[in-house]
Amino acid sequence: MRHWTLCFFFILSSVSTLFAKTEKITERALADKIYGGWAGKVIGVQTGAPHEFHRLANINDGTIDTMPSDIFGALGQDDIYTQLSFLETFDRYGLDADADVLAEAFTNAGFELFHANLQARKNYLDGLRPPLTGAGLYNSHADDIDFQIDADFIGMMCPLMPRMVRRYCRKIGPIMNDGDGIYGGIFIATMHSLAFLEDDIPTLVRKALRNIPRRSAYRRCIEDVLNQYRRDPDDWRAAWEVLHGKWEAHACTPNHPFNIDAKMNGAYVVTGLLYGHGDLKKTMEIAVRCGQDADCNASNAAAIWGVMNGYDAFPDEYKAELEKIRDRKFDHTSYSWTDAAAKVAEFAGQNIIRGRGKYRDGVWHVRRQPSRFFGRCRSSFGGAAYAESFYCDAPQWTLDGSWESFREFGSDPFVRSSTPGASAELSFEGTMVSLIGAWDPACGMADVYLDGKLVRRVDSWFRYRCGFFIINRQQVFTACGLKPGKHTLRLVVSKERNPESTGNEIIFTRADIYR
């Protein structure tokens, strides 16, 4: 049955390509839209930068200056140089570079990472490979925004080709994300892809949603924004209230209002686009006012606006700002924003040919692909919802052997031990548990038992000390898909350690429980 199902989808795909409508776009118009996308990315990220995480679970009613006060700050934005690292890898190895090549280059890049990206780098160094580096079982940040903010260039280099968008997203997305975290990147990239022709924003959003599973929480969240927009196209705050009444729960820092969940921040991007009614300044302002990861959301929204309208449509005041950094390289890359646009335009041409399109007399003939998802809907954590946390000083923990309690930077309580055989045990009731702590060059290994059975040896060594920033704790161990009911987690410090490590220390702060 599986064989015939795959054959059916292959035949359907081939037939749809054969009879696909051909759209014409001049070489100049294609370049104008790609330059517009990168211009929006740069302007948007710096518009939101002063407000990043200044509002957590509440609306930003302060003054929003939609003219960036420091355009040079865009050169150091991870929203841009992280995705440019993938563009550079394609430039070096070709568009057929596989997930392992992309993951290795990403892991060894010289810039600092956070959340899902950081956990993916750690997982790769621990010997895991995609898709395990981003899978919920090994990455408690699997539903975070990381891939979503790195996916703009994919859509720009796949004009009117949503199926090709999915192909590239399936190479990159599983490096750092899973489930909704991947669907967020596909959705954002698909909006870029379709914006080369589609000029109606509600239609653009609806068509892009078809490229991800109907049953995914991500799609249902965005559909709630669309439904609210249909009810009242002028009150974006009502849409914000709907989102926070229904979708605010998340797996990353679940006991804190900080939220970089992909679907929630993706909904802010859509809120800005819909209620901005085609006005760039209003689009960015609303995306920023929604709060949380304000620079990322304004950047995604402005980039999509830029593809839809093209660089020529940008007000002169923005073009004057962009000219200041026209030839300046982004940190950790060999690209300026104009270099990036030119390279993406080059790849777009290659992909049009790969998609059975043609180039003739200054005009690209693009075989338009359907936006249609096939396959099983993935959920990073099996629908588990946060229930409670047990900090290391809670009476539910039993610490045997030599453990030291401490706090760093006035943080939550932590415990650490370098003594082989020292153990920490917790009984809990739930279907998922995530042990949260820190990594360090002097950290070692520990054996983890669930219900008395050894399930994994974990390694807390990392190149630098991290995990003490309250909204960016690190994962020591995660288990999901447990049977409902009572379980026992036991951590035992090992005498073994990574060859790179200078010690055996194990550090943790709490266990997050989900049901």
Q: What is the CATH number of the domain that holds 469?
A: 2.60.120.260
Residues near 146 by beta carbon (within 8 Å), at least 6 away in sequence: 114, 115, 116, 117, 120, 176, 177, 181
Would you place residue 4 in the very low, low, confident or very high pLDDT band (cuts 50, 70, 90)?
very low
Strand partners, 383: none
pLDDT at position 8 is 45
Residue 199 burial (CB count, 10 A): 10
Are 449 and 508 members of one domain? yes
Are 293 and 332 members of one domain? yes
Q: What is the CATH number of the domain that holds 129?
A: 1.10.4080.10
Are 235 and 283 members of one domain? yes
Cα angle 418, 423, 426 (rounded to 5 degrees) comes to 135
Are 95 and 216 members of one domain? yes
Residues near 30 by beta carbon (within 8 Å), at least 6 away in sequence: 159, 196, 345, 348, 349, 364
- Spell out the SS3 assignment of 333-380: CCCCHHHHHHHHHHHHHHHHHHCCCEEECCEEEEECCCCCCCCCCCCC
Cite the DSSP H helix spans in 19-77: 27-48
Q: Is residue 10 scored above 50 in pLDDT?
A: no
Which of 319, 340, 367 is the last residue in one of the domains?
Answer: 367
Residues near 161 by beta carbon (within 8 Å), at least 6 away in sequence: 193, 351, 352, 355, 366, 367, 368, 369
Are 339 and 408 members of one domain? no
Q: Is residue 11 scored above 60 in pLDDT?
A: no
Strand partners, 23: 366
Q: Is residue 95 scored above 60 in pLDDT?
A: yes
Share of the chain above pLDDT 90, in %: 91
Residue 268 burial (CB count, 10 A): 28
Q: Is residue 105 part of a domain?
A: yes
The DSSP symbol for 144 reads B
Q: Is residue 12 scored above 50 in pLDDT?
A: no
Q: Is residue 237 scored above 50 in pLDDT?
A: yes
Q: Is residue 375 part of a domain?
A: no
Full DSSP string of 424-481: EEEEEESSEEEEEE-BBTTB-EEEEEETTEEEEEEE-B-SS-B--STT--EEEEEEES
Q: Is residue 272 part of a domain?
A: yes
Strands 474-480 and 432-437: antiparallel
pLDDT at position 5 is 42
Q: Is residue 1 part of a domain?
A: no
Q: What is the pLDDT of residues 188-219, one digit of tens each?
A: 999 999 999 999 999 999 999 999 999 999 99
Are 282 and 392 members of one domain? no
Task: Report the distance separating Cα 431 and Cα 283, nearest Å.
Answer: 40
Would you place residue 469 in the very low, low, confident or very high pLDDT band (cuts 50, 70, 90)?
confident
Q: Is residue 13 scored above 70 in pLDDT?
A: no
Strand partners, 426: 397, 489
Are 332 and 418 members of one domain? no
Mean pLDDT across the chain: 95
Are 35 and 111 members of one domain? yes
Residue 351 burial (CB count, 10 A): 20
Q: Are 17 and 319 in contact (CB under 8 A)?
A: no
Are 81 and 202 members of one domain? yes
pLDDT at position 69 is 86
Q: What is the mean pLDDT of residues 136-164?
A: 97
Task: Report the distance separating Cα 164 and Cα 96, nearest Å.
Answer: 12
Are 112 and 53 members of one domain? yes
pLDDT at position 251 is 82
pLDDT at position 408 is 87
Q: Are 291 and 309 in contact (CB under 8 A)?
A: no
Q: Is residue 301 part of a domain?
A: yes
Task: Report the distance separating Cα 408 and Cα 428, nearest Å.
Answer: 27
Q: What is the mean pLDDT of residues 277-295?
A: 98
Are 178 and 226 members of one domain? yes
Q: Is residue 94 scored above 70 in pLDDT?
A: yes
Which of 367, 396, 414 is the last residue in one of the domains?
Answer: 367
Q: How many domains does the chain have?
A: 2
Which of 315, 333, 367 is the last residue in one of the domains?
Answer: 367
Q: What is the mean pLDDT of residues 306-316?
A: 98
Q: Is residue 463 part of a domain?
A: yes
Q: What is the pLDDT of residues 238-280, one digit of tens each?
A: 999 999 999 988 887 888 899 999 999 999 999 999 999 999 9
pLDDT at position 19 is 56
Task: Report the distance separating Cα 474 and Cα 423, nearest Å.
Answer: 19
Q: Are 249 and 268 in contact (CB under 8 A)?
A: no
- Nearest Cα to 52, choosing from 385, 287, 253, 215? 287
Q: What is the distance of C-alpha 2 from the center of its chain?
A: 31
Q: Is residue 379 part of a domain?
A: no
In terms of C-beta density within 10 A (0-12 exposed, 13-18 middle, 19 or more buried), how is residue 510 classed?
buried
Q: What is the mean pLDDT of residues 284-304?
A: 98
Q: Is residue 436 scored above 50 in pLDDT?
A: yes
Q: Are 467 and 507 in contact (CB under 8 A)?
A: yes
Q: Identify the helix (H) or strand (E) that includes residue 91.
A: helix 78-93
Q: What order of strands is seen across the sheet that includes strand 453-459?
A: 397-400, 423-429, 486-493, 445-450, 453-459
Q: Are 294 and 276 in contact (CB under 8 A)?
A: no
Q: Containing domain of residue 504, as a range?
A: 386-514
Q: Is residue 380 part of a domain?
A: no
- Nearest Cα to 226, choosing from 212, 216, 236, 217? 236
3-state SS assignment for residue 153 = helix
Task: Report the distance separating Cα 31 and Cα 47, nearest Å.
Answer: 24
pLDDT at position 358 is 98
Q: Are 52 and 294 in contact (CB under 8 A)?
A: yes
Are 430 and 281 members of one domain? no
The DSSP symbol for 329 reads P
